[in-house]
Amino acid sequence: MLNRLKRLLTSPPEPQPVCAPVPAPEVLAPTEPEIDIGLVDIHLSGWLQNETGELVKGFAIGPEDSVLDIGCGEGGYALFSARQGAEMLLADVDAQRLETAMQRLQAEGARSVQTLVTDANPIPLPDNRVSKVVAMEVLEHVDDPAQFMAELVRVAKPGAQFLLTVPDEVIEGVQKHIAPPVYFQSPNHIRVFKRGELERLALDAGLIIESSTQYGFYHSVWWSLYWACENQPLSPPWHPLLENWAQTWSTLLSLPAGPRIKHALDAVMPKSQVIVARKPA
């Protein structure tokens, strides 16, 4: 299994500082000699399905798609979409990070890559422009989520799919006790979405929700432990505490009961809430 996953899960999204203007959609955890157990974990949660072209289960991307990845940072999960041959429209507030993302994606088989320096008020695209919208770990940074969602819906074609994620309220509650103050200051996490609020935001924007789920207990614990590791950058070599947590999780997933326990823990203390939705045709 590890060798197969190693082939599937290459060039993972890079970790980003908490104080970055628009962080990458997911911070992945430490590596083992064979494979990044954080990538194994998200793959088991339905992400990065190379066989079907699904960025996450139910959200397939193909060469015919035009994908708006808003708040993309330096590429992150946009790499997967580019490898499906899609047209990529990368949007972020940071021009330098967008340039890095563009360079990375151009080597990954995208039909084309365009960058947009924008805070989404408004998005510099015409109406009904894109067939897929990805907004991962972005809405918690936004001053006016309703306005932000209205812009995403405007530029989406009728029938376009949306992938929306936000940090879960349980792990955010933990972070309030252990993370540095900057974690909850602009331009970082200025709001916490309670369970059900992301669904309501999508419905109020006129979208039809196709699925709602959560994932990432492993990453929730990783981040909680991270703050104990003084002077630890968001890159290896990792502190022994983080290495030990990665090894513990790897051992759990290797056991017959591991996936069942992972599923239960993901439901109780996930890293993120996830919605796949669609604009009415």
Q: Is the pTM of this model over 0.85?
A: yes
Q: Rounded to the nearest 10 degrees, how much is the dihedral formed by the CA atoms of 178, 181, 187, 188?
A: 10
Q: Is 50 exceeded by the pLDDT of residue 216? A: yes
Identify the structural domains of the chain with CATH numbers, from first to last. Answer: 2-278 (3.40.50.150)
Instruction: Tell me the C-alpha distance between 205 and 175, whole Å.
Output: 29
Question: The tokens of 220 are what?
Answer: 């929730």
Structure confidence at residue 106 (pLDDT)? 84
Q: Is 90 exceeded by the pLDDT of residue 256? A: yes
Q: E strands of 19-102, at which residues? A: 47-49, 54-56, 59-60, 66-70, 87-92
Structure confidence at residue 186 (pLDDT)? 92
Q: Is 50 exceeded by the pLDDT of residue 16? A: no
Structure confidence at residue 5 (pLDDT)? 36
- Geometric angle at alpha carbon 38, from 174 and 256, rounded to 5°: 100
Q: How many helices (H) and strands (E) does the chain have?
A: 10, 10
Render pLDDT for 70-112 as a digit per residue (tens, 0 to 9). Answer: 999 999 899 999 999 999 999 999 999 999 999 899 889 899 9
Render pLDDT for 23-70 as a digit per residue (tens, 0 to 9). Answer: 333 333 333 334 699 999 999 999 999 999 999 999 999 999 999 999
Phi then psi for 35, rounded to 5 degrees? Answer: -165, 155
